[in-house]
Chain A
Amino acid sequence: MSLEQQLSEHFRRAADSLCPPPDRLARVVQRGRRRRAAQGGVIALVAVTAALAVPALVGSLGPARSVSAKSSGPATVSGSPTDASSGDAAALPARGFVASGPRYSSLEELVAAGHLILTATVEDVLAAGSEGPPGEEISHLDTVVRVGEVWKGSAPGATVTVRTLELAFAGPNAKEWRQHGERVVLFLSPSTENEGLYIPAKVNYNQTIYVVTDDDLLATFPDDELAQRVAAMTLPQLRRTVRQG
């Protein structure tokens, strides 16, 4: 018998001797499916609402405003119901989580808005509970990242926890970054509602998170114009720009 055959046979016997794993997840998954189905309806509704409302909102405001254009209010497409009062989101609908944070028009504005800008590696992703009325709950994830280089501000410790909407990056136009081992550049603000937690700077998901591969950057929302410009930079270029303020 060849060594390869011996190995196959050895692994087969070793695997057979293992007890079947307890199926602890089945019920969780089933429950999750039901909850997700319910959320799916809400998300679809919100997405449709956003598709209709955002152009109207932007139209009423003129071209996309920068955060500094306070008198015009924000032109925005994403955020979180939590911390919706941070940044310039006060005037936005309470449940309109798709429209609660500012959209930045330049990297300088983005850097100015970020209290903590750093490179990090995702260590853990934890369910952070949900809020909202029954049947319309919106779930959050807490992403624990290990701090790499701090470019602006100071990190509270070796890790930082970033709270985001669970489904914020779940779409064909977004890149999911909340998975173990993913290297990222984050532009963050401290959460105003949950002490110790951070959120994408002033509740802007589209422009504040970039995945790092070697020295290349990948926007989590590649359709965004500023995100495209940032992602076109290399990591050292972005580091230099951020540090120069």
Chain B
Amino acid sequence: MVGAEAIQQEPRVTRAADFDEFYRRERAALYRALALTVRDPDVATEAVDEAMVRAYQNWWRIGGYDNPAGWVYRVALNWSISRARRRRRELWPEPPPPEPDCADSVLAAAVAALPDKQRAVVVLRFHMDWSLDQIAAALRIPTGTVKSRLHRSLATLRSELEDARRES
């Protein structure tokens, strides 16, 4: 078990009373993060709702985690993946082609083309602003894996941006 996960797997017992506050504070942000990861707002809405219900049912435990939002994100992401598997189809829609002369469009297409696991790490790091340890705990992977996924993602994105710059 990795260090960060160990932290998350040793919950402090908590009361359900603060679930409302957590729900109000985190729901929209988690929805946005998941929508950016799975690139399907409808799936993200449903997945976060599902994960929030499960968090609510287990709040005595989840509420004691260092980053309950990480748990909700992982459950929502797994739910999205399972649903896609059940429906036997690609979860993530094809990335749109970049519009010429638009740096953000190139970046958007490059992010969309990242492997799912790398995109999840990039979204959590640069959108949610979570630490490497928080990401590791949320995704249940070692911190070293987070670092390497982040490193590979940034290298890919840099390369894509550089190619686009040269072509333009």
Residues of A within 8 A of B (CB): 3-4, 6-15, 18-26, 28-29, 32-33, 36, 123-125, 166, 170-172, 176, 179-181, 213
Contact = CB atoms under 8 A, between A and B. Distances in A.
A147 to B, nearest CB: 15
Contacts of B54: 125, 179-180
Nearest to A172: B13
A36 B44 contact: no
B4 to A, nearest CB: 15
Contacts of A9: 104
Contacts of B126: 4, 7-8, 11
B120 interface: no
Interface in B53-68: 53-54, 56-58, 60-61
Contact of A11 (B1, B78, B103, B123): B123
B20 A29 contact: yes
Interface of B: 1, 13, 16, 19-20, 23, 27-28, 31-32, 35-36, 41, 44-45, 48-49, 52-54, 56-58, 60-61, 75, 78-79, 82, 103-104, 107-108, 111, 122-123, 126-127, 129, 154, 157-158, 161
A180 B13 CA distance: 21
Contact of B108 (A3, A10, A125, A181): A10
Interface SS of chain B: helix, strand, loop or mixed?
Answer: helix
B127 A15 contact: yes
Given A7-B122, A24-B49, A32-B56, A14 B79 contact: no
A174 B5 CA distance: 19
A13 B103 CA distance: 13
A30 to B, nearest CB: 9
12 contacts: A6-B104, A6-B107, A7-B107, A7-B111, A10-B107, A14-B108, A18-B31, A22-B45, A25-B27, A26-B23, A33-B20, A124-B82
Contact of A3 (B19, B56, B79, B157): B157
A179 B38 CA distance: 21
Contacts of A6: 103-104, 107
B54 to A, nearest CB: 6
Contacts of B158: 3
Choose among A166, A180, A181 the residue with the greatest number of B CB atoms under 10 Å from its CB: A180
Contacts of A14: 36, 108
Choose among A6, A11, A172 the residue with the greatest number of B CB atoms under 10 Å from its CB: A11
A4 B111 CA distance: 12
Contacts of B75: 179-181
Contacts of A18: 31-32, 35, 41
Contacts of A15: 32, 35-36, 127
- Which 5 pairs, one residue from A and one from B, show the smallest C-beta to C-beta distance? A11-B127, A7-B126, A15-B32, A21-B31, A21-B45
Given A6-B107, A21-B44, 7 more contacts: A3-B154, A6-B103, A8-B126, A10-B104, A21-B28, A25-B27, A166-B57
B98 to A, nearest CB: 12
Choose among B48, B49, B122 the residue with the greatest number of A CB atoms under 10 Å from its CB: B49
Choose among A8, A18, A32 the residue with the greatest number of B CB atoms under 10 Å from its CB: A18
B70 to A, nearest CB: 14
A11 B36 contact: yes
B91 to A, nearest CB: 15
Nearest to B128: A11
A10 B111 contact: yes
A229 to B, nearest CB: 22
